[in-house]
Amino acid sequence: MDPDSVSPFSSLQTLAKLLADPQEEDNDDDDLGSYSSSVSTVGPGNIGPAKQAEPTVTPNVKSGNSKDIWNSEEVPEGSEFDDIWDPREQPEYEILFKQQVGAEDIFLGLNRKDLSTACCEDMLIKIKLPDTKSSDITLDIQDKILDLRTPKKKLLLHLPHPVDSKNGKACFISEKETLEVTLRMKREFDFINFA
């Protein structure tokens, strides 16, 4: 078959037949109306096997206090501490990560530790508190939140990793006017890094 002898219209009709839905076969091959309707209904979503209609899922509505605006599960953790009307300023702080290394780690590299934060066990938070006494500091630590309050400063810090809130260490260095809080991290895959 010579490519010059094929008309553009017949090649478009052949292409339309290939793209047409096999369930809607039309016996009238020469009808231009069937060509335009089959092409207009074909789109990128029609490529491949036909998709099954997904069943609609209705959300489960829990019966409770009808005056509640939202469920307690919908409220993000730590939002009860947010106090946007508090005029106290936020102190400067710095988050550092610490790891325990020995001579075998540094010189021989026997343990699989590297410089990344994945190999760190502790989180150190340094908070600068000028003109503050240690007796004025109120510190509350939860799994993902550090809440610090003084008469002049307020810090609500969402921590980057979950921590062991029961076992931590805080030290106020009066010469530097800095509070150092050391917390042990408890991440999901720490058993891999510290095996």
pLDDT of residue 150: 94
Q: Which residue has the tokens 């609500």?
A: 156
**Confidence bin at 8 (pLDDT 50/70/90):** confident
* Whether the Cβ atoms of residue 170 and residue 180 lie closer than 8 Å to each other: yes
**Confidence bin at 187 (pLDDT 50/70/90):** confident
- Residues 80-94 pLDDT 10s: 666 677 788 999 999
Beta bridge pairs of residue 140 = 147
* Whether the Cβ atoms of residue 172 and residue 181 lie closer than 8 Å to each other: no
Altogether, the residues listed in the chain come to a count of 195
User: CA 176 to CA 182: how far, in whole Å?
Assistant: 17
> Does residue 26 have a pLDDT over 60?
no
Which tops the pLDDT comparison, 26 or 115? 115
pLDDT of residue 68: 75
**Confidence bin at 56 (pLDDT 50/70/90):** low
* Whether the Cβ atoms of residue 125 and residue 59 lie closer than 8 Å to each other: no
Please measure the distance between the N-terminal and C-terminal CA atoms of the chain and give it in whole angstroms: 71
**Confidence bin at 171 (pLDDT 50/70/90):** very high
User: CA 10 to CA 64: how far, in whole Å?
Assistant: 67
CA atoms lying within 13 Å on the CB side of residue 76: 7
Look up residue 129 and give its two tokens: 């508190």
Region at 177 (left for phi over 0; alpha for psi -120 to 50; beta for the rest)? left
The model carries a pTM of: 0.57
- Residues 116-155 pLDDT 10s: 777 788 999 999 999 999 999 999 999 999 999 999 999 9
> Does residue 176 have a pLDDT over 90?
yes
* Whether the Cβ atoms of residue 169 and residue 179 lie closer than 8 Å to each other: no
Look up residue 150 and give its two tokens: 């003084």
Choose among 141, 121, 126, 140: nearest CA to 187: 121
Distances (CA, A) of 45 to 18, 21, 42, 55, 181: 16, 13, 8, 19, 55
**145-149/178-185 β-pairing:** unpaired
Q: What mean pLDDT comes out for the span 151-163?
A: 92
